[in-house]
Amino acid sequence: MNALVRVSAVLTNAPYMMNLDCDYYINNSKALREGICLMMDPLLGEKVCYVQFSQSFDGIDRND
């Protein structure tokens, strides 16, 4: 991740980066916007640098 952040910053100068695990998918098409809104909030934006969405698992035993 550290190398990816450095290379991405040099190549794109992008202010945001999204990292997904290889087996992760998002059902909410507005999830990225919601995460960026947290970072752009005038009151919270200065304190937020990382947003992690909750993860739920389908089809597993409740006691697992």
Render pLDDT for 4-59 as a digit per residue (tens, 0 to 9): 778 877 888 777 777 777 777 777 778 788 888 888 888 887 887 777 777 777 77
What token pair was written down for 5?
């952040």
Q: What per-residue confidence (pLDDT) applies to 41? A: 85
Domain-by-domain residue ranges, the chain? 19-57
| pTM beyond cutoff 0.85 | no
pLDDT at 40: 84
Q: What is the DSSP string of 8-36?
A: HHHHH--S------TT---S-TTHHHHHH
